[in-house]
Chain A
């Protein structure tokens, strides 16, 4: 019955399309935002899709990005600047004008700058504007600045940069089109969300083998050809055993080691001497190797030698030295790294480890790829082809978030290098502006002796120390509030944001006046030990004043952190803002293209909010910070962030954006500011991309064409190669100090720790929590993963995304459920040395039997995020954070180190050890915190019919 109704098949999507950059996570995909004008003339977002021309996502868009509309129209958006009126945590605020807010902030910040700039701590969260925020903090003059890398992935960044001048993180990618064997370590949904998905799709299509090394078999690991359900924190044992096998089977790329690494460099062998374990150097300071052609010691930096990888050599002073290769081989051929020795501990049979090593050898050396692409190396030698060892690897959080993460990350890179697979066809490829030197030639700044009122810092805060002389110390005390670049965390290239609130409240090493934070939910899912953190945010001195006297916070949403701040600077949504994803910072480059991008307001805010970066520039003008004001003290960037993005020059001709520079927009990389630059970006889909010449596409670390191109782009100051540091000499420099050598001496409590962990060759050690707590009492490991459809706390307030997961469960192995008598949805107590949490379980087989896990940042606090008080996120949802201490248990001497990697200070979230027991019936999680107030946000709607306004009249 009935005829088919007529359907209008040609309804235009919107009235126009605006192209900008997504911000539903850190992936930075290009998006087409379809806008339709509403009856009031204001545009409404109709639809968001991926930009097909964009180098990152090539048209696709993930589950988060496709739900961006609900983020943009979230009822949790802040509406105007707020000043706290009730006690901290009460959520009692009054709305104030921007004039008042900025005057107050200027007064607070100005007073501190005039007296003692270190009493400002400025830390930023998931923002992508560190080139600006770091510059601001430098010009302000406080040593206390970092972004959130210390609790995110500094082990990956530092482990990579110290080893090969690149990193897994965002600075490189597998050669998706050519790789034949891909190993994915500890990745759930971290950086590079869409590129990994696109890449894995390609690999599966081509029949390349995907090996997932992860305690949990979900997401990427669920479709891997082989799942290695490793015990958390033992990746270093697994990789060490693979290296053991490669050495034992003589399946390593000797030519590659000689050409590109410090494998032939000679190491002084003189135990007890102040230079034991350092590179043997010639009179000119160059490291030495043994040249077989001439039979003499020669500079390792000269090129053109026939370097030996073996043999004990005698130095000019009569002492002996051995090449790195021998030390490395002896380290990993040791029986402690044999497959048999490590099998039980990692939870994998020895035979499987041997098989994987043999598969790696097969693909690397018997299935090599040869590209008919001539190229010239840095020594001037021409190669007719590019030879690829088509093995690639990627690793992130599962390596990073352990206190052995730096050394484990280095070990993975060494595995890649032994196979000859870094930046070769089919291997792991750098993304420009990487490679940098290994480590980058950039030292940290901010020693207290260099911090003066009203004066900028002498250089950037964050860098790469080469030895104790580069630490930022005040006597033997840390210069930085977070104790970064002190003996506690000497190579903390991203700072330790996770320690800031604790240290500030305890005045350890000193107290501060103003805590200024941006986009970091530190009162909840971004802090370890949430109850302790809330105490630290609210603790008062004898006079009844908060020990952290003033807190300024900027966020777009009413997150759990907002109620704990005194002054709120409301930020915009990602569709309302200017941003700059800069080659000076964390660009969007791909292996074949150097690229950067912008965000721009595709819709104007309908509330009294301002983009944080423009506010920061406004404050800089009011404070008169050098670099932000002209000779007469007038603001240099009155137009805010877009003005700065175009007109700021870090060095002559080098600014935040690399595209369309020069007065006519015809220069790339280096060129004078172009007033039309942002329009050019908008017209090009909000990004700029320039291709690397084909002869420069691989072996970038040693490729003459690449090194010269990188110099013309301003990426490198010189054309000397990046030489892979299998042996990391800076670590030995710290270790020598710990053994009593040199004038920079660690405190006694730190000697053994430095001497143990600062091994110039990577090694595996038990993560600290496992070393220090009774593992018989806490037999299980507990970790979190990020769901593919949510990003930190942002996603789980999203009306669509929260329908996918409204509350997290604790996933436990079937055998654990059987042991404690728990079935799906039963309640359990999960206990650590720090505290306990009551939560619901779900049983599964695809998890390491010694591991429990949950989705991160889904648990929410009542009152926050405009969710109802009975929302499952707060009633059943929970955080593991409550179980994780920001400090390690007392070790010898009563000192409590931060719960971090001893080298980089990376927060060791995944070291957590727990016990589980069945709980009696309960219907809500414990601890369940009191509701925060709601800052008078209007109640959220009880129904959404978004899109009704777009319905075609029928």
Chain B
């Protein structure tokens, strides 16, 4: 069906920090807002004010608990296309509409040649493709290809809309093919991981695991749990004597 480039010059992608994501949906709505008027325009919404509102979103956030009881934790998990190195969503495409760019590795859909057969969404184990029922074509994260090279916007803004918006700084963008890039360094330092590596699609996007919780040493001045026998007076008397001593120094 559709062939993949043997290699790509860059591996542009996102690094998403699960330690700081609070699940606020800023990345999801800023993505929707940018892309509904961008390369994928529009991201149609069906029944937007009715019983079953649903539309095309290129980025969705899932909040859920993992584990049980005291060992459980709440996870906020943003999900979008991982721009895999070897994605089946491209190779299954019968028309060549799905393609992986040679220069940066971004996986895109050409809306002019997409026939809406949905084979790609069946092929993607990450659920990252979104069918637009009105347009009749498949839509997906473009890594804001129409922002990141866009010379009509300030250079510092040439990042995907989700990265631009994220209030906690949980999202970064860069070349994961370059081991010296800031994103690669971050992945190395924090033990960034692939989502479902066992499928072998080699996702470019990486997730950073929650950090080990910060810990603070207890002050040595803290008295033992069980108050000792009050040989030297009540706690109040001892406090006042201490205060007198300190303040008369």
Q: Taking beta carbons and an 8 Å cutoff, which residues of A are in contact with B?
A: 1-2, 4-5, 7-13, 46-50, 52, 57, 59-67, 69, 75, 180-181, 189, 193-194, 197-198, 200-202, 204-205, 207-210, 217-223, 225-226, 245, 247-251, 254, 258, 292, 306-310, 325-326, 329-330, 333, 350-351, 354-355, 357-359, 361-363, 365-366, 788-789, 797, 799-804, 806, 814, 844-846, 866-868, 870-872, 875, 940-948, 950-952, 954
Contact = CB atoms under 8 A, between A and B. Distances in A.
Which of A66, A357, A797, A801: most chain B CB closer than 10 A?
Answer: A66
A356 B227 CA distance: 17
A846 B113 CA distance: 47
B145 A7 contact: yes
Nearest to B241: A310
Given A13-B150, A69-B33, A223-B210, 11 more contacts: A50-B164, A61-B30, A61-B167, A219-B24, A223-B22, A225-B214, A308-B247, A358-B222, A366-B219, A802-B53, A950-B41
Nearest to B96: A2
A246 to B, nearest CB: 10
Contacts of B214: 207-210, 225
B149 A10 contact: yes
A404 to B, nearest CB: 25
A800 B146 contact: no
Contacts of A803: 45, 48, 53-55, 57
Nearest to B3: A1
Contacts of B2: 1-2
Given A60-B167, A220-B22, A223-B20, A846 B74 contact: yes
Nearest to A845: B72
Interface stretch (B118-126, B151-159, B174-182, B193-201): B151-159
A200 B24 contact: no
Nearest to A357: B222
Contact of A944 (B55, B69, B96): B55
Contacts of A221: 74
A845 B70 CA distance: 8
The 3 closest A-B pairs by CB, nearest first: A2-B96, A63-B25, A358-B218
A866 B53 CA distance: 14
B223 interface: yes
Judged by DSSP, the binding face of B is: loop
A226 B99 CA distance: 45
B115 interface: no
B26 A62 contact: yes
B24 A325 contact: no
A250 B239 contact: yes
Given A329-B236, A354-B222, A945 B44 contact: yes
B24 A197 contact: yes
A61 B134 CA distance: 29
Given A7-B145, A358-B218, A868-B49, A63 B223 contact: no
A392 to B, nearest CB: 14
A663 B48 CA distance: 50
21 contacts: A57-B167, A61-B167, A63-B25, A180-B216, A193-B167, A204-B19, A248-B223, A309-B240, A326-B240, A351-B225, A357-B222, A359-B217, A359-B218, A801-B25, A803-B53, A806-B53, A866-B49, A943-B47, A944-B42, A944-B45, A945-B45
A452 B101 CA distance: 77
A330 B237 CA distance: 10
A50 B20 contact: no
A872 B63 CA distance: 20
B74 A217 contact: yes
B64 to A, nearest CB: 9
Nearest to B248: A292
A46 B145 CA distance: 17
B23 A788 contact: yes
Nearest to B51: A870
A201 B234 CA distance: 44
B240 to A, nearest CB: 4
Q: State which size class the interface on B falls in.
A: 35 or more
A947 B73 CA distance: 38
A799 B53 contact: yes
Give the most central of B47, B63, B112, B156: most A CB within 10 Å. Answer: B47
Given A222-B76, A250-B242, A13 B153 contact: yes
Contact of B24 (A62, A217, A225, A248): A62
A13 B22 contact: no
A59 B146 CA distance: 20
Interface string B51-62: 101110100010
Contacts of A2: 2, 95-97, 99, 113
Contacts of A208: 214
Nearest to A182: B214
Interface in B10-35: 19-26, 28-30, 32-35
A218 B76 CA distance: 9
B1 interface: yes
A43 to B, nearest CB: 13
Given A333-B235, A803-B45, A310 B244 contact: yes
B45 A358 contact: no
A580 B1 CA distance: 60
Contacts of A75: 49
Contacts of B152: 10-13
B127 to A, nearest CB: 16
Contacts of A204: 19-20, 168, 211
B243 A254 contact: yes
A57 B68 CA distance: 36
Count chain A CB atoms within 10 A of each CB in B145, B243, B248 and give the residue with the most: B243
B68 A845 contact: yes
A223 B212 CA distance: 11
